[in-house]
Amino acid sequence: MSGFYKGISGLSLFISIPFLIKYLGQEDYGIWILVFTLFQWILVMDFGIQSSLKTKIPVLFHQNKFDLIKSYIKITYKYAIYLALFIFALFVTFICIYDIKTVLNITTHSKNFIYLLFLLNVFFFCINSIAGIHKSLFVAYLKGKYAEESLAVNQIGSLILIISAVYFLPNINSEKKLLLITIINGGFCLLVNTFYSIRFFKLEKINLKTKIKPPKEFVQEIINIGIRFMAIQLGMMLFFTIDNYIISNNFSPKDVVPYDTVTKIFQLPLMILYAALSPLWSMFAKDYIEKNKKNLYNNFKKFNTYFIVILCLIFILYLICPFIVSIWIKDELEIPKNLVLYIAIVTSFRIFTTFYSYFLNGIGKLNLFIIIILFSLILKIPLTNFLIHLDFGINSVIISTLILMVIWVIVIPLECYKIVKKLKLEN
């Protein structure tokens, strides 16, 4: 069901893109991608608090510490509010010091408008980072389908509102269009997140009235795990989304569009599989606590078998991608040679490593994963710049990702098998 809802969500996103390009134009759509990508990073700037929920709550359930769970959820919301306020203040300070318009090579709008656009987006992203905690809670309670259902409702509703804007407000100026899309994206998301937050607490019959306070050792452990999760999330986000900024800086915002368009096509299977795999995060935690070695090996074996089918489907998508682009985007897009192939390979690598990284995340064994991501981040920009100088064009960003991910594909699964094998020694 998680995969089904993610499919609906991804399809809605897929359909919305040509409407956005038509409504905003390629230049402003490129700007919107830069804005939206930047604030996706804010969602992971929670010091891993939400990710910790998915790892620690199954452990507390196993230990029958239900009052501690209530207290844990309560402090999660408390810390999330503090962090949202801090991030908002930090970003306001940042834009007062740096000229974002110049940094992102934006030439079509005034400095004041770009500041307003970024401030409005950071506000919505910060408040939705709090309201969206329900998604991690649903996964922690092994009901991840509701988290994906909320995302599907949000995406479908946003699509309807975007289409309405295209047909009912086509003649407003470009700046008002960008602001309208911002309000649609952030405002409707807030409504959906609020509804599903209420639904979670009603469905699980949870109230946060408890006099128990988590021990200092417990809070310290959560913060330590959370910081490591944040390092992984932020590293992953930077590694896979910095491409748009490299392209914008070295070429132009308009050149982001063909790269982003092909990437979006391959995001659909990626999103579906991520959603289908997401419940495994907490399930892995449960099996590891119970030292259920057989279950863990069976899950590894099943995925390795299914991955052959996944590769075949990605290959088919690679073959039909140019045709999809031609009927999907009415404006002619010049797609660099071999870009589709490189993105297809990177998509395969991401799916394979995501499964095994969910195991590491679920059991809290994060150090090796952090080292790999930091190593990749350090090399990403210089390697990309080197490839740009060799005249690989915008393909440089995806080729550098592909080269670095070879390390992920080898090291991460080996670490997972090594950890499971050690469980036998502990029995």
pLDDT at 427 over 50: no
pLDDT at 135 over 70: yes
Reported confidence tier of residue 196, pLDDT bands at 50, 70, 90: very high
Q: What whole-number percentage of the chain has pLDDT above 70?
A: 88
pLDDT at 39: 62
SS (H, E, C) the chain: CHHHHHHHHHHHHHHHHHHHHHHHHHHHHHHHHHHHHHHHHHHHCCCCHHHHHHHHHHHHHHCCCHHHHHHHHHHHHHHHHHHHHHHHHHHHHHHHHCCHHHHCCCCCCCHHHHHHHHHHHHHHHHHHHHHCHHHHHHHHCCCHHHHHHHHHHHHHHHHHHHHHHHHHCCCCCHHHHHHHHHHHHHHHHHHHHHHHHHHHHHHCCCCCCCCCCCCHHHHHHHHHHHHHHHHHHHHHHHHHHHHHHHHHHHCCHHHHHHHHHHHHHHHHHHHHHHHHHCCHHHHHHHHHHCCCHHHHHHHHHHHHHHHHHHHHHHHHHHHHHHHHHHHHCCCCCCCCCCHHHHHHHHHHHHHHHHHHHHHHHHHCCCHHHHHHHHHHHHHHHHHHHHHHHCCCCCHHHHHHHHHHHHHHHHHHHHHHHHHHHHHHHHC
Average pLDDT over residues 115-121: 87
Tens digits of per-residue pLDDT, 215-241? Answer: 777 667 667 777 777 777 778 877 887
Which whole-number Å values give the CA distances from 147 to 41, 132, 153, 197, 279, in the listed order? Answer: 20, 9, 10, 10, 10
Average model confidence (pLDDT) across the chain: 82
Average pLDDT over residues 269-298: 77
Average pLDDT over residues 395-407: 91
Reported confidence tier of residue 330, pLDDT bands at 50, 70, 90: low
Average pLDDT over residues 96-117: 79
- Residue 333 CA to residue 322 CA, distance in Å, equals 10
Kindly report the pTM of this predicted structure. Answer: 0.66
Weakest mean pLDDT among 100-109, 261-270, 403-412: 100-109
Average pLDDT over residues 332-336: 73
Rounded to the nearest 10 degrees, how much is the dihedral formed by the CA atoms of 207, 208, 213, 217? Answer: 90
Weakest mean pLDDT among 45-54, 356-365, 394-403, 404-413: 45-54
Reported confidence tier of residue 407, pLDDT bands at 50, 70, 90: very high
Weakest mean pLDDT among 181-190, 221-230, 406-415: 221-230
User: Which of 38, 409, 106, 391 lies closest to 242, judged by CA?
Assistant: 38
pLDDT at 2 over 70: no
pLDDT at 163 over 90: yes
Highest mean pLDDT among 257-261, 274-278, 341-345: 341-345
Contact present, 53 and 80 (Cβ < 8 Å): no
Between 43 and 161, name the one with better pLDDT. Answer: 161
pLDDT at 404 over 90: yes
* 270's tokens: 């990626």
Reported confidence tier of residue 291, pLDDT bands at 50, 70, 90: confident
Tens digits of per-residue pLDDT, 313-329? Answer: 999 989 988 888 777 66
Reported confidence tier of residue 332, pLDDT bands at 50, 70, 90: low
pLDDT at 403 over 90: yes
pLDDT at 144: 74
Tens digits of per-residue pLDDT, 358-378? Answer: 888 878 788 888 899 999 989
